[in-house]
A and B are shown apart, each in its own frame.
Chain A
Amino acid sequence: GQQVMQIPQYQHVQEGEDFTTYCNSSTTLSNIQWYKQRPGGHPVFLIQLVKSGEVKKQKRLTFQFGEAKKNSSLHITATQTTDVGTYFCAGPQVSSSNTGKLIFGQGTTLQVKP
């Protein structure tokens, strides 16, 4: 079945350093979503990318969708302690009945040292 893989699993950075997490799908995705889960919290939607090669920015966060729509990345510039959490990518798996379900990557847990 379809798989969505994320690397790295964990990342420790010094505050102010940049951070990137990568997401790869075994199949072409119609779109990809990114979520952030703070420690002890629940996943919160960050963004959705739909177009091939799409790049979107949210302040210090830059999201990219690959040209082949099989990979995506999230880059955080100059990390802050508020960026701590686990970042998940998720892509829809479409069934033969034309309904979908979201398949989540394993997540990348970011720790930021002040």
Chain B
Amino acid sequence: KAGVTQTPRYLIKTRGQQVTLSCSPISGHRSVSWYQQTPGQGLQFLFEYFSETQRNKGNFPGRFSGRQFSNSRSEMNVSTLELGDSALYLCASSLRGSGPTIYNEQFFGPGTRLTVL
């Protein structure tokens, strides 16, 4: 099976602009989670989508949004970019367990490196 793919791999934007990142999960995986990774903050959970519904959300401002399509592909959008948004944005897909006690392993994509100037 093909792995998780993310596009674009690298992006340079200026403050105030907006950006859309794309993630294609492993075939058959219905859950897609997004993470922001920075040297100072580590891996921070952004949100999770399952069957086109946002199931969980991290502590990020409303400028960060996402959606999932019927084919499980997901996009995340960041509006009004700030310098602090520079980070590696990772998408991860999983099969998703039937209950909260078992959280299926996450399969991460290569990430999108976003630089905000």
Contacts and interface: CB of A to CB of B under 8 A. Distances in A.
Interface stretch (A11-19, A76-84, A91-99): A91-99
Interface in A15-65: 30-31, 33, 35, 41-45, 48, 50
Contacts of B42: 88, 104-107
B110 A42 contact: yes
A95 B58 CA distance: 11
Number of contact residues on B: which range applies? Answer: 20 to 34
30 contacts: A30-B100, A30-B101, A30-B102, A30-B103, A31-B101, A31-B102, A35-B106, A42-B108, A42-B111, A43-B90, A43-B106, A43-B108, A45-B106, A45-B107, A88-B42, A90-B43, A90-B106, A98-B100, A99-B48, A99-B55, A99-B100, A100-B56, A101-B45, A101-B48, A102-B106, A104-B42, A104-B43, A105-B42, A106-B42, A107-B43
A103 interface: yes
A98 B103 CA distance: 12
Interface of A: 30-31, 33, 35, 41-45, 48, 50, 88, 90, 92, 94-95, 97-107
